[in-house]
Amino acid sequence: MLQVTSGSDYGIRGVIYLALRAKKDAVLISEIASAHDIPESYLAKIFQGLTRQGILRSARGVGGGFMLARRADQITILDVVSACEGPVLVSKCLSKKDECDKKPICGLCVVWEKLQDKVTSVLSETTVQDVVDSLEEKYPVP
């Protein structure tokens, strides 16, 4: 099964939550975890990685919390998934294309490469702002 891990899912949802509250200075991790029913300690670990990758920034002390490090239209879903997981690969054979010992008898490399291109394209062309705009269109704030 091709599946996004819970870490990437939580990371994406957390980043979208921050983008929806972009006018607020910083958001506490407890608020985000509560809103999405995510274990707070797990989300904190994910957010540390997103901060190291330059997607988020954090502030300590009173009024502290997390915020986007860049505008939401400059952060792609691929940025978030890659920060959480590393390279996005639909098949492990793509990580070592030239070293695949089954290549002469398998023939699936071409299929995996096409799928890889499609997945990467969708994730890299979709920004956090695109998701926010879609949400705001479907669920307008009164």
Report percent pLDDT > 70 for the chain.
Answer: 91
Q: What is the pLDDT of residue 1?
A: 47
Domain ranges of the chain: 6-138
Q: What is the pLDDT of residue 69?
A: 96
The residue-averaged pLDDT of 15-42 equals: 91
Return left, alpha or beta for 10; rule: phi > 0 is left, psi -120 to 50 is alpha, else beta.
alpha
| Whole-number Å distance between alpha carbons of 83 and 93 | 21
Residues 108-131 pLDDT 10s: 888 888 999 999 999 999 999 999
Residues 77-110 pLDDT 10s: 999 999 999 888 887 777 765 566 776 677 788 8
The CATH number of the domain covering residues in 6-138? 1.10.10.10
